[in-house]
Amino acid sequence: MKLLSRIYDHHQSNSIATALRNERLKLLNRLLSTVPKPLRILDVGGRSAFWQSTGLLDSGVTDVEIVLLNTSESELGEISPHPRLRSCVGDARDMRQFQTKAFDVVFSNSVIEHVGVYADQALMAQEIQRVGKRYFIQTPNFYFPIEPHFVFPAFHWLPIAWRVWLVTHFSLGWYAKFDSSVRAREEVESIRLLTERKFRYLFPGSHLFRERFLGITKSFVVYGGWNIE
């Protein structure tokens, strides 16, 4: 399990997850450099700690505003006070509180696999493309052999009943052992990883960036609306 932690724990500076995230940030920063300032960013399902790591909240940066959207106050996590960072509660599938093209960029990291069935994921994708002039969306690959939330080989390919049994008997990944099989099933069924084909279908005309580990695509980023070749 230490090896799996080395792959997935982004809190470790030497983990594969951290290395891949850094490459993702390089791509994001290159894209952001093409956008005129001031810059307004919506992060769907985001945390303040991520943006603090990007440098966009540094004291010398004054022309960026970042809005974090989460489903509840408890999901917002600890928000560090910052004049250019604010949070709000909402539903990624229905962001009616925001006008069309209200944001220069919509960003989301490992969220779309949590919003429900494919129809729900399609609603989130539509809303992202409605409220944002540009987007940058990441999600894990269904065909990567280690499930990223429970950090267990082939977990997401097993029958649901087997997955429920595993999480009610063992602590897996970022989850403590579940005491309730009902709650375990709810959590297992709430995570729906996407294939490349299904992901790209949600964002027609987008560019695709593949994050690879040992030659296998671990996750995807789709990005669109940017003034690039």
Q: What is the band of 28 on the pLDDT scale with cuts at 50, 70, 90?
A: very high
Q: What pLDDT sits at residue 21?
A: 76
Q: What pLDDT sits at residue 5?
A: 55
Task: Write phi, then psi, for 179 (nearest 5 degrees).
Answer: -85, -25
The bridge status of strand 64-70 relative to strand 39-44 is parallel
**Residue 79: pLDDT above 90?**
no
**Residue 3: pLDDT above 60?**
no
Q: Cβ neighbours of residue 36 under 8 Å, at least 6 residues apart?
A: none
Mean pLDDT for the chain overall: 89
Please tell me the pTM assigned to this model.
0.89
Q: What pLDDT sits at residue 73?
A: 72
What is the four-CA torsion angle of 178, 181, 182, 185, rounded to 10 degrees? Answer: 80
Q: Cβ neighbours of residue 166 under 8 Å, at least 6 residues apart?
A: 150, 152, 155, 158, 172
- 2-147+192-224 homologous superfamily: Vaccinia Virus protein VP39 (3.40.50.150)
Question: Do the Cβ atoms of 160 and 185 come closer than 8 Å?
Answer: yes
pLDDT digits (tens, 9 = 90+) for 199-219: 999 999 999 999 998 899 999
Q: What pLDDT sits at residue 2?
A: 55
pLDDT digits (tens, 9 = 90+) for 82-136: 778 899 999 999 999 999 999 999 999 999 999 999 999 999 999 999 999 999 9
Residue extent(s) of CATH 3.40.50.150 domains in the chain: 2-147+192-224
Section 10-38 average pLDDT: 80
pLDDT digits (tens, 9 = 90+) for 154-201: 999 999 999 999 999 999 988 999 999 999 999 999 999 999 999 999
Q: Cβ neighbours of residue 44 under 8 Å, at least 6 residues apart?
A: 69, 92, 106, 107, 108, 111, 124, 128
Q: What pLDDT sits at residue 23?
A: 85
Section 75-84 average pLDDT: 64
**Residue 36: pLDDT above 60?**
yes
Q: What pLDDT sits at residue 82?
A: 76
For 94-110, give the secondary structure using H, E and C: ECCCCCCCCECEEEEEC
Question: Do the Cβ atoms of 112 and 121 come closer than 8 Å?
Answer: yes
